[in-house]
A and B are shown apart, each in its own frame.
Chain A
Amino acid sequence: MIGSAQDPEQAPVSREEVEQVALLCRLEIDDGEARELAAQMSAVLSHAAALLSLDTSGVDPTAHPLPLVNVLRTDEVRESLAQGDVLSQAPDVEAGRFRVPPVRRRQPEEP
């Protein structure tokens, strides 16, 4: 296990954790938002603390209310969305494809 999840009950969420999580989920947050989120996330998690101490040993997790099995269909061609319809909703396209800015993060000194 990476990190230490040993005391999820007590530890309020720190500003540093908020910033790390924001990076993980691709959100830009300013100082004010980070402070507010740290307080609000701590409040919700402390509300959830009662769960964390419940004895659930030997209990299987429920990921889904139905007993899900893989759904297969016969391998036949069906109508699907037209490429033009789908691309018409994209912010930027080029030659039938989605167009994005350079994928590598630019360093500040780069032009």
Chain B
Amino acid sequence: MAKTIEAIVAGVRSGEIDPVALVDQHLKLIEENEPSTNAFITVLADHARQKAGEIASRVAAGDPVGRLAGVPVAVKDNLCLRGAPTTCASRILEHWHPPYDATVLSRLLAEDAIIVGKTNMDEFAMGSSTEHSARGPTHNPRDMTRVPGGSSGGSAAAVAARFAQAALGSDTGGSIRQPAAFCGVVGLKPTYGLVSRYGLVAFASSLDQVGPLAGSVADAALLLEIIAGHDHMDSTSLDAPAPRLAGQAADSAEGLSIGIVRELSDGADPEVKRRLDEAAESLERAGARVESCSIPEVSYALPAYYLLAPAEASSNLARYDGVRYGLRVNAADTPTMNARTRSVGFGAEVKRRIMLGTYALRAGYYDAYYGQAQRVRTLLIRAFDAAYERYDALLSPTAPTTAFRLKERVEDPIAMYLSDVCTIPSNLAGHPAISVPFGTGEAGMPVGVQVMAPALAEAVMVRVATILEQAAP
């Protein structure tokens, strides 16, 4: 059993674990296996060794060290870190060095985490397989012929391959949870507004949220506790104290009522469904009341998302115009320069979404597409509210299938989008959700079970997830 963050930090503090040696172990794994995995866009080996050395000196001098002292963490390449490029896996930001740190990274560094690298992703987080990356696809460490999921596929692969103890990703429609499920790790999307988005490159601002990927529920919970909390640099940041999640006891599900969402499980592969049934049984054995439930409105989430997210993206990505940062392809006049820069700088999927979003937002069409999707979003939120009057948490597969093969879906946008059908509803509602590995399915690939909870109910969600983790085959 791999060590938890808590055990590593205790070891570093007591002097039993040398942070430099620990970082070197991970860097050695990266050196050996990264060429075939392609989980990183930038490996920060020198930075990581230097930071580990500083921590070692402070421990030796008897100075206090943080709650993540010496813990190697990988971060998605849409999170800004001073001194390193932030590319979003796009040509348009290929050489961009952000002049500031994302709040979540400042918080990790303040607790003495060691950032070992910036991970590969679908360009601007638009995709479900990490194949839409200007830096080439990431491979799934469980089977190199398969995708790691996406868009935080590099972060999920980095944890699965033990390149890092844990990672940060971002989740707009499932981009933390779906790759976590595909790679057999834990992935947590927090309540919207719980974690600062300052320094997260924007994709769809009403949906984006930063969260952890880790080898265990406890590690994910601890990371969330550290990155959560109000930030005056993000106007959508909730002015509420960060939840206490780490070290919670979860030996019983007594008193919990849990619904299995039929509409999200009916379409899943038989082996995924079988694992979901086993997960439900394990919760029942732990004392929960578990029953099947119906929320028909979740069926509208995917089509609503594919109007809302591209619309917000088309607006957010208007900033890449070759004027202030990033790529410029020169031309005789500015409008031509803008268009040429964007056409060369963006990949096919990003262009597709900008086009779709612009289409849906056109004068005269706005209400029929974007406005209607926003009203459907309200219907979905109401349906969730009604369900959470009966249940403390909801259960579903994280994705309808296990990891598919590279190139299998990359030419078919609809098939690709369908892999997010179970994760998108929580983003539209702004609710937290977590994917927990629960056995394997087709070809021995990992299956993820998703636990969803109402806004700010991360504690209940983590409790259920911990029980599932302990019961997992």
A→B interface (CB under 8 Å)? 1-5, 8, 13, 17-18, 21-22, 24-29, 33, 37, 40-41, 43-45, 47-52, 54, 56, 59-66, 68, 71, 73, 81-82, 85-86, 88-92, 98, 100-106
Contacts and interface: CB of A to CB of B under 8 A. Distances in A.
B443 interface: no
Given A27-B343, A89-B324, A61 B364 contact: no
A14 B55 CA distance: 60
A95 to B, nearest CB: 16
Contact of B376 (A56, A63, A90, A92): A56
B381 A8 contact: no
A61 B334 contact: no
A106 B378 contact: no
Given A90-B325, A101-B331, A2 B363 contact: yes
Contacts of B429: 65
A88 to B, nearest CB: 7
B333 A51 contact: no
Interface string B363-382: 11101110111111111010
A43 B413 CA distance: 9
B113 interface: no
A66 B193 contact: yes
Interface in B230-256: 232, 235-236, 238
A44 B415 CA distance: 10
Nearest to A50: B303
B358 A100 contact: no
A106 B374 contact: no
28 contacts: A1-B364, A5-B365, A8-B369, A21-B358, A26-B318, A26-B342, A29-B343, A29-B351, A43-B414, A44-B413, A48-B306, A48-B373, A50-B303, A51-B300, A59-B375, A59-B378, A60-B378, A62-B377, A63-B374, A65-B381, A66-B192, A66-B193, A68-B236, A85-B99, A89-B97, A91-B325, A98-B323, A102-B332
Nearest to B369: A8
Given A65-B429, A71-B235, 12 more contacts: A3-B363, A27-B342, A27-B351, A44-B414, A48-B303, A48-B306, A48-B307, A56-B378, A65-B193, A66-B193, A88-B97, A91-B328
B14 interface: no
B376 A54 contact: yes
Interface of B: 96-97, 99-100, 192-193, 206, 232, 235-236, 238, 300, 302-304, 306-307, 314, 318, 321-328, 330-340, 342-343, 346, 351-352, 354-359, 362-365, 367-369, 371-379, 381, 413-414, 417, 428-430, 455
Given A3-B362, A98-B323, A25 B379 contact: no
A47 B306 contact: yes
Contacts of B357: 25
B304 A51 contact: yes
Contacts of B328: 91-92
Contact of A105 (B302, B336, B359, B372): B336
A102 B160 CA distance: 51
Contacts of A68: 235-236
A59 to B, nearest CB: 4
Contact of A8 (B236, B330, B332, B365): B365
A48 B413 contact: no
B334 A102 contact: yes
